[in-house]
Amino acid sequence: MITLETKRRKTEYAIGIDLGGTFIKAALVDSKGKIIKHFKTETYSEISPKKVLSQIEMCIDTLKQDFKKEIIGIGIGAPGIVTKGVMKYPPNFKGWKEVNLKKHFEKKYKTETIADNDANCAGLAELKFGHGSKYNNFIFLTLGTGIGGAMVIEGKIYRGEQNGAGEFGMMTIDYKGPMCLGGNRGSIEAHIGRNYFLEQNKNEIKKLGKNIDFDDISHLALKGNKTAKKLLNLYGFYLGVAVTNYFNLMDVRTAVLGGGISNAYKSFIGELNKTIKTRSLKTIRNKFRVLRSSINNNAGVLGAAALIFE
């Protein structure tokens, strides 16, 4: 039905901004999820909020140039907490307290602007243009330096009381476990966030060579290296414990994995699935599925644009 409606409706255009600490990615996207133009530039987050805003404006201006059709809005995916268009205390942005992105860009461009956190945007991209065509309920997880989550319930992003839902990375799986920066001992992020994982397993990782990063471990595991396989099994186990907590609580049966570390999917999915089977209700333990994101690379800009089409 959604597909039919989309077909009937005429194609619309929006700008999607994926605001990261290092780069700003921007794209002009149509309502079917096709990227018409894209542009990428440095964020200069170490300079000032003003500089970041002018960099975003440069992206928007570049995309608008020579495009004759109407652009119905600007969607922005930003790190940290975003409430009613206000981006609050993002990690790694110098001098940034609270900046009202919605107000700033609506004034400047006289077009609707919606901002949300980047995990929700990635989940929304999956919902609108990826596995969402088949699954109405899933959790989308971003696996990288941090562990982000977006909850899709009955075809919509669930946002919670104050747009703060989906802090999946903060879920404690071992209350005695390693400390995370937020003070939440034993959270899933403190186990499988990229740097935490590399640090906690450095003795094993040393066996693989010097300057080994996560991609190296993944490549070595695929080639059959036992130490690398063991490490990724551990990754899959930790993630499995947390995903099962979600499945058991929500009676949702699908998880979709995005973010850089999801590239190692093949190396940890076996242990992940095994963990889910062990820890879920006996009567339904064969009904769960964990999928790779179908639109990993452009999820940020597509999801940001989808805020406008939502």
Task: Say if CB 295 and CB 129 are below 8 A apart.
Answer: yes
Check binding of 63 to its own copies (CB under 8 A).
no
- Residue 280 Cβ vs its own copies, minimum distance, rounded to whole Å: 8
Minimum distance from residue 81 beta carbon to its own copies (Å): 7
Which of 238, 265, 268, 309 is close enough to bind its own copies by CB under 8 A?
Answer: 238
**Pick 73 or 169: Cβ nearer its own copies:** 169
CA dist., res. 266 & res. 84, Å (int): 38
Q: How far is the CB of 92 from its own copies (least distance, A)?
A: 16
Our finding on whether 137 is near its own copies (CB under 8 A) is yes
Amino acid occupying residue 79: P
- Burial code (b: 16+ CB inside 10 Å, e: under 16) for 206-242 equals eeeeeebebeebbebbeeebebbbebbbbbbbbbbbb
Nearer to its own copies, 33 or 85 (CB): 85
Q: Which of 164, 160, 161, 195 is nearest to 180 (CA)?
A: 195
Residue with tokens 């071992």: 174
> Using the rule CB under 8 A, which residue among 164, 179, 207, 215 binds its own copies?
164
Q: Considering only residues 248-267, where is the footprint of its own copies by CB under 8 A?
A: 248-253
Which residue, 16 or 123, has its beta carbon nearer to its own copies? 123
Query: Which 269-298 residues touch its own copies, going by CB under 8 A?
Result: 278-284
Answer yes or no: are the C-beta atoms of 227 and 244 closer than 8 Å.
no
The site for its own copies, by CB under 8 A, has a size of 49
What would the x/- binding string for its own copies be over residues 170 to 189, using CB under 8 A? xxxxxxx-----xxxxx---
* Residue closest to 287 by CA, chosen among 298, 300, 297, 276: 276
Residue 41's H or E segment, with its range, is strand 35-42
Report the nearest approach of its own copies to the CB of residue 250 (Å): 6
Smaller CB separation from its own copies, 61 or 251:
251
CA torsion angle 136 138 143 146 (round to 10): 110
Q: How far apart, in whole angstroms, are the C-alpha atoms of residue 99 and residue 45?
A: 13
Site string for its own copies, 72-101 (x = CB under 8 A): ---------x------xx------------
State how far the Cα of 306 lies from the Cα of 16, in Å rounded to an integer: 8
Interacting residues with its own copies between 22 and 61 (CB under 8 A): none
If the CB atoms of residues 67 and 91 are measured against its own copies, the closer one turns out to be 91
What does the binding site for its own copies look like in residue numbers (CB under 8 A)? 81, 88-89, 137, 149, 151, 153, 158-168, 170-176, 182-186, 237-238, 241, 244-246, 248-253, 278-284
